[in-house]
Amino acid sequence: MERLIAGGARILIAVLPLLALPLPAEAQGRGPVRSSRDGVYTAVQAARGSDTFATICTGCHTPESHTGPVFMGSWGGSSLWDLFIYLSEQMPKTDPGTLSAREYLQVVAYILELNGMPAGSAELPADSAGLSRIRLDTAKAADAAIPINTRRRGES
Ligand code: HEC
């Protein structure tokens, strides 16, 4: 839970400068939320992520540990930005932050692939605004269609 709160705070920091500008509602995070099922990464991106994972992450994790009900119980419904920031700041556990942003993004793409999300023709966006608007969906979360921002900030 702590990491989700930290992720939320970062989203806020990332969007604060944007709020000062008269941007379309979509750019302020109120626009349509994309699903991780909508072909949001490319197969090439995931293949590179797979290589990185095999080199750096497999000492401690199996690919399977980033799939299934336990993983989705932690991450389902979160934005890809939350996952990206978590990986960037916490992994690899003994040497956090040592991959490039591009490599972390490729690993996120690989995790999507592991979870059966279809690849598409455009790469995952490399910015907080784009990633914040893509929700990591399970079948259940997709059915419930909970917007990220409602879930994250509580709208209270
Ligand atoms: C030295 C061992 C080690 C390495 C290498 C490592 N991790 Fe981890 N990882 C952990 C531990 C331990 C945790 C449990 C959380 C914690 O202790 O911070 C974890 C947690 C995670 C989680 C959250 C798991 C969940 O179910 O919520 C993800 C995702 C993750 N790691 C991905 C990665 C990726 C991707 C890499 C490679 C870039 C990586 N890790 C490299 C040890 C490692």
CATH code of 46's domain: 1.10.760
User: What is the DSSP-derived secondary structure letter of residue 135?
Assistant: E
Pocket (CB within 6 angstroms of ligand 1): 53, 56-57, 59-61, 66, 71, 74, 87, 90-94, 99, 107
Query: For residue 71, which atom of ligand 1 is closest to its CA?
Result: 26
Of 93, 94, 95, 100, the one to substitute when testing ligand 1's pocket (max ligand atoms within 8 A of C-beta) is: 93
* Type of residue found at 124: L
For residue 63, is the peptide bond before it cis, meaning its omega torsion is within 30 degrees of 0? no
The label of the residue with tokens 């949001």 reads 40
Would you call 134 helix, strand, or coil by DSSP? Answer: strand
Distance CA 87, CA 107 (A): 9
Tokens found for residue 109:
């793409």
What integer pLDDT is reported at residue 145 of this predicted model?
47
- Interior/surface letters 3-13, b for 16+ CB within 10 angstroms, e for the rest: bbeebbebbee
> What is the predicted pLDDT for the residue at 30?
55
What percent of the chain is helix, strand and coil (3-state, nearest 5)?
Answer: 60, 5, 40
9 CA distance to ligand 1 centroid (A)? 21
What does the pLDDT look like over 26-67, one tens digit per residue? 455 555 699 999 999 999 999 999 999 999 999 999 999 999
**Distance from C-alpha of 99 to C-alpha of 118, rounded to nearest angstrom:** 25
Q: Which residue has the tokens 């921002």?
A: 149
Q: pLDDT (tens digit, 9 = 90+) per residue, 101-139? A: 999 999 999 999 999 999 999 999 999 999 999 999 985
Number of domains observed in the structure of the chain: 1
Domain hosting 77: range is 2-153
Q: 143 exposed, middle or buried (CB, 10 Å; 0-12, 13-18, 19+)?
A: exposed
Kindly report the pTM of this predicted structure: 0.78
